[in-house]
Structure 1
């Protein structure tokens, strides 16, 4: 993106952008790395999580998987009962950028693959999630990134032209899907790179984007 490109609104992914999300690290602590690897090889926890992100009930999805793998039932239930331990800590540099944009009056939106119940857990733990002008949560919409429909919903409901939206996500497929619609799309690798992109887009000054 050249320095002459500007944007009217900013769209944030949440997991691994504003809040860390590391299930393997949690299970390594809980079970030890060897047993964690055995669990993840035996039980498809990520497919279960994708169903939750698409709107399935968290409790029901966990219990169904536990019933299918009774030898791992206690470990599977940790995904629900210790969910917040997987979704932490916040990423302070990104949260500070969100607050700086909000303070300038820039419209800020969340576009996230997140379950209905898990998003409420996250909101209770991380009040900055209520700073967004609107939140587009896959569990409620029943469509997920990188499917085109979820991007189209945000465009329609916010009224912003695609080329005037600037978006960050840690997932390259999600970034590519946004870019294909004409969004200014940034692959998140850390708050510093994202800050520089926001400055280039004219949304924050160097001072506003600086750490401190």
Structure 2
């Protein structure tokens, strides 16, 4: 089956997303585990990805858990340290695909404010042919609606999309719609998939 466009997730595919590692470095693994067990940080972040205000969501959660207030506020105040660097080979693959004339789309769970911060730090994120961010669309992966929006707005048939994401549930949702998929674990296997699909040569994917 031919591939007419490649769809990238962003976090842990093109840029690192490591909140646990950040908190481990600040308060140690044991105390971080306590924090994440007692405070629904990831649930709060999903609401930000749905379009809730970033600072307001974080600071409201801090007020609800005064014993962890400082640590919770770090999620906002130190957010760029949760996404400490881009993943260079993944970015090269994205740009090489575009240089070969292959459209590249982003499909990512991201907040409105956090996406702007990330784009400021990592300009490659502004380079997609089309960008589909959950907060802008008011729905998140793996909900079917967000995949349907991408299909409708790009006009690419599902079976001609190749999607890579690090979360199995997001891949399964795309599979269910007939997308071609690749569960992202590291850049090298994904590079191999692009070569296998005939989108890049081995030299271009290196």
Indicate the larger mover: 38-47 or 147-156.
Answer: 38-47
1:43 aligns with 2:59: no
The separation in 2 between residues aligned to 1:33 and 1:161, in whole angstroms, is 45
Aligned residue pair count? 206
The separation in 2 between residues aligned to 1:145 and 1:87, in whole angstroms, is 20
1:162 aligns with 2:148: no
CA deviations on 1:50-109 (whole Å, 9 max, x unpaired) are 100000000110111011011111110000011110112211111110110111121000
- The runs of 5 or more residues in structure 2 that have no matched partner are none
Q: How far is the alpha carbon of 1:30 from its aligned partner? A: 1.0
Q: 1:104 aligns with which of 85, 100, 103?
A: 100
Aligned to 2:15: 19
The separation in 2 between residues aligned to 1:40 and 1:151, in whole angstroms, is 30
The separation in 2 between residues aligned to 1:178 and 1:47, in whole angstroms, is 22
Q: 1:138 aligns with which of 96, 119, 134?
A: 134
Q: Which consecutive segments of 4 or more residues in structure 1 shift more than 3 A?
A: none
The separation in 1 between residues aligned to 2:190 and 2:148, in whole angstroms, is 23
Check conservation: 1:6, 1:164, Cα contact below 8 A.
Answer: yes
1:64 aligns with 2:60: yes
Aligned to 2:149: 153
Check conservation: 1:6, 1:202, Cα contact below 8 A.
Answer: no
Q: CA RMSD in A?
A: 0.8
The separation in 1 between residues aligned to 2:198 and 2:126, in whole angstroms, is 24
Check conservation: 1:53, 1:144, Cα contact below 8 A.
Answer: yes
Q: TM-score, normalised by structure 2?
A: 0.98
Q: How far is the alpha carbon of 1:6 from its aligned partner? A: 2.1
Aligned to 1:186: 182
Report the secondary structure of 2:84's partner residue: coil
Q: How far is the alpha carbon of 1:189 from its aligned partner? A: 1.0
- The runs of 5 or more residues in structure 1 that have no matched partner are none
The separation in 1 between residues aligned to 2:201 and 2:177, in whole angstroms, is 27
CA deviations on 1:111-142 (whole Å, 9 max, x unpaired) are 00011100000000000001101110001111
